[in-house]
Amino acid sequence: MLEKVQIIFLIGLLGLLSIVLELVRRKKLQEKYSLLWLLTIVVLLVLSLWKDSLRLIAKVLGIEIPSNALFVVGLVFILAILLHFSVVISSSSRKHKELAQQFAILNWRVRQLEQKIQENKGAKGQKGKEAREQGG
């Protein structure tokens, strides 16, 4: 028979599973990131239903109540997910910075070319004006 803590944990995990699936369905969470969450949910579901595994983990970690080991494992998975997302955000931030720098350089080059074109038009216009004055 399941303990009250396990039942509450199972309900929470099923709620989290439905949220993750809904976010993927609405395209608010990419599939590659949802895999981490789904793996975490599956591992925690297995551990919450298989009491002997919790007893073993609790014994190894020195935790008296096996259901508390479930929360420790969950915390470890969440920390791993947070670390992964920190790496992804750092990489994305670096890429955005590089793109902004490249955009600024290209924008500067376009302005330089436009300025040269304007100078060339001005010089041609000046030559044409001088030629008309000399010929006229």
Interval 31-50 mean pLDDT: 86
Q: What angle do CA 54, 57, 60 make, to 5 degrees?
A: 150
Q: pLDDT tier at 40 (50, 70, 90 boundaries)?
A: confident
Separation of alpha carbons 77 and 62, rounded Å? 19
Q: 66 pLDDT band (50/70/90 cuts)?
A: confident
pLDDT in tens, 74-87: 899 889 889 988 99
Q: Which of 66, 87, 102, 117 is nearest to 79 (CA)?
A: 87
Which residue carries 């890429």 as its tokens?
Answer: 95
Domain count, the chain: 1
- pLDDT, one tens digit per residue, over 95-125 is 999 999 999 999 999 999 999 999 888 777 7
pLDDT at 50: 82
How many Å apart are CA 59 and CA 63, to the nearest integer?
Answer: 6
Domain that holds residue 33: 4-135
Alpha-carbon distance of 15 to 9, in angstroms, equals 10
